[in-house]
């Protein structure tokens, strides 16, 4: 039987590696298109682009590993059925469950590995990816000097250049509109010529201007207009973010947290909800006592309480605000609970896809790559529609997170068990026919 186990696993391994490579490449290209506008024209260094691509891989593996498991299962068992190897296995007295055993064990190990990966490795990788993506998006493209066009790449300045000497880099006819801060009015600087000095270590450019004038309105006396002539002046253009600056990112979204961290966050929200609930109870109790004090002033509660339409509106708004805060906290709790369940349910889908992929492969008797991807696509769509729909319902607290995230596995797994039962009944029926004179029961033909 060890020979059979090795044979089945070998049939699964090559299609799994091939489909994993193809699907990962497709998803990587999809993500590249999304960030293409950030990479194009920003002068991002090669190491940053390479690191961004490498940080994309773990996220895609969380999706492509289960998908590749289904493709590989369909291809492997489809080929075994198409080449009548399942017929040979059946006539040898080996059950379908025994044939599926190696695939199920391999899928169980893969599911366990993916559960660890999704919970321990992927959150940190997602956090590093989000930090690098934020750094790249913050970086500005290189400044391009264009004659006759307003240059708005410099914070607080708008620059217009009449012409540029490409040989010497000298600028002619420079006009600078400065948005002065601290309550000062705008200034206009006009110069006959100028040069631009790059200071990369300080992430700064310095514009040196020669033979010009500065025009501005006196902020203390708006009726007074100032004009200042100069031979040479310089303007430091800072804060350009021309270089990729790596900053530590303290914030973590739910996809950047482990299950333990999210459970701690849920516990904190639960305590806040408890405190808010007690506060609402105290408010209601105080309002009731106030009402009783107005109805029966002699009881000592409140002889002249603040009562009336305005007070009622304020009290109602307070209750409404507290109730909305509780609802927001509960939705946050549900959102984190959904992410916890998703880490495990998506990993467990590797096992579910083997359960449904093996009988479909045997029934269709087709083991080609195109057939595997075609049939898998249908189940991918159905599975992820259930997954995304369940996540939306759970986030809105219509269903529990566990039900929302595991419903797809339960439904697809139930269909797989049904199809496996159909195949088993067919094997038994053919076995009985073979014992009554069919090709598989020749040894008993003379006794019937």
Give the pLDDT of the chain (448 residues) as one tens digit per residue.
Answer: 678 888 888 889 999 999 999 989 888 887 777 666 666 656 677 777 788 888 888 888 988 999 999 999 988 898 888 888 888 887 877 888 888 889 999 999 999 999 999 999 999 999 988 888 877 766 655 556 677 888 777 777 888 888 888 777 788 899 988 876 655 668 899 999 988 877 666 667 788 899 999 888 777 777 777 888 888 988 887 755 555 556 676 778 888 899 999 999 999 988 988 888 888 887 777 777 766 665 444 444 444 445 567 767 777 788 788 888 888 888 889 889 999 999 999 999 999 999 999 898 888 876 566 666 777 788 888 888 888 888 888 888 888 899 989 998 999 899 999 998 888 887 777 655 554 433 333 333 333 3
pLDDT at 300: 44
pLDDT at 296: 47
CA 99 to chain CA centroid, nearest Å: 38
pLDDT at 241: 56
296: which DSSP letter? -
pLDDT at 442: 36
Take residue 284 and report the two structure tokens written for it. 């209601």
pLDDT at 277: 84
The kind and range of the H/E element at 173 are strand 171-178
pLDDT at 117: 94
C-alpha to C-alpha distance for 253 and 55, rounded to whole angstroms: 16
CA dihedral 160, 166, 169, 172 (to 10 degrees): -40
pLDDT at 222: 73
pLDDT at 417: 92
C-alpha to C-alpha distance for 264 and 64, rounded to whole angstroms: 30
**Which ranges constitute the DSSP H helices of 2-84?**
2-39, 46-82
Say if CB 176 and CB 156 are below 8 A apart. no
Sheet with 171-178: list strands edge to edge. 157-164, 171-178, 187-199, 204-217, 225-237
Is 0.85 surpassed by the pTM of this model?
Answer: no
Q: Which residue has the tokens 């270089």?
A: 243
215: which DSSP letter? E
C-alpha to C-alpha distance for 354 and 346, rounded to whole angstroms: 14
Paired with 171 in beta bridges are 164, 194
pLDDT at 283: 77
Q: Please list, in sequence order, all residues whose beta carbon lies within 8 angstroms of the beta carbon of residue 293, skipping any fewer than 6 positions away.
A: 299, 300, 301, 302, 303, 305
């Amino acid at each position: 039987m060890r020979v059979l186990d090795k044979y089945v696993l070998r049939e699964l391994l090559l299609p799994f590696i091939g489909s994993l490579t193809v699907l990962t490449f497709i998803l990587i290209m999809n993500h590249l298109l999304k960030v293409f506008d950030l990479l194009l024209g920003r002068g991002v260094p090669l190491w940053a682009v390479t690191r961004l691509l490498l940080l994309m891989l773990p996220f895609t593996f969380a999706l492509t590993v289960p998908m590749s498991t289904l493709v590989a299962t369909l291809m492997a068992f489809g080929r075994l059925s198409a080449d009548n190897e399942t017929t040979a296995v059946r006539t040898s007295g080996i059950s379908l469950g025994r044939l599926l055993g190696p695939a199920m064990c391999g899928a169980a190990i893969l599911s366990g590995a993916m559960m660890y990966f999704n919970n321990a490795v992927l959150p940190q990788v997602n956090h590093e990816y989000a930090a690098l993506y934020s750094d790249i998006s913050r970086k500005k493209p290189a400044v391009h000097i264009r004659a006759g066009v307003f240059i708005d790449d410099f914070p607080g300045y708008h620059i217009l250049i009449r012409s540029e000497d490409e040989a010497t880099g000298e600028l002619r006819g420079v006009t600078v509109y400065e948005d002065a801060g601290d309550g000062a009015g705008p200034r206009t600087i006009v110069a006959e010529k100028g040069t631009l000095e790059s200071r990369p270590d300080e992430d700064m450019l310095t514009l040196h201007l020669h033979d010009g004038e500065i025009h501005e309105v006196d902020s203390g006396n708006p009726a007074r207009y100032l004009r200042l002539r100069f031979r040479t002046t310089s303007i430091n253009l800072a804060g350009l973010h021309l270089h990729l600056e790596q900053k530590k990112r303290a914030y973590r979204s739910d996809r950047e947290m482990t299950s333990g961290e999210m459970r701690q966050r849920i516990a904190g929200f639960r305590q806040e909800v408890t405190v808010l609930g007690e506060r609402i109870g105290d408010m209601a109790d105080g309002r009731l006592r106030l009402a009783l004090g107005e109805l029966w002033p002699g009881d000592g509660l409140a002889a002249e309480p603040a009562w009336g339409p305005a007070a009622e509106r304020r009290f109602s708004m307070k209750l409404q605000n507290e109730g909305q805060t509780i609802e927001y906290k509960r939705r946050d709790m549900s959102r984190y609970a959904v992410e916890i369940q998703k880490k495990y349910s998506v990993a467990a889908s590797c096992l579910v896809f083997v359960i449904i992929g093996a009988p479909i492969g045997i029934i269709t008797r087709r083991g080609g790559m195109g057939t595997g991807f075609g049939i898998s696509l249908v189940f991918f769509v159905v599975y992820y529609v259930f997954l995304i729909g369940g996540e939306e319902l759970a986030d809105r607290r219509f269903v529990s997170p566990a039900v929302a995230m595991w419903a797809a596995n339960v439904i697809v797994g139930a269909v797989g068990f049904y199809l496996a039962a159909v195949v088993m009944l067919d094997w038994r029926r053919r076995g009985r026919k073979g014992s009554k004179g069919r090709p598989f029961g020749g040894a008993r033909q003379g006794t019937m």
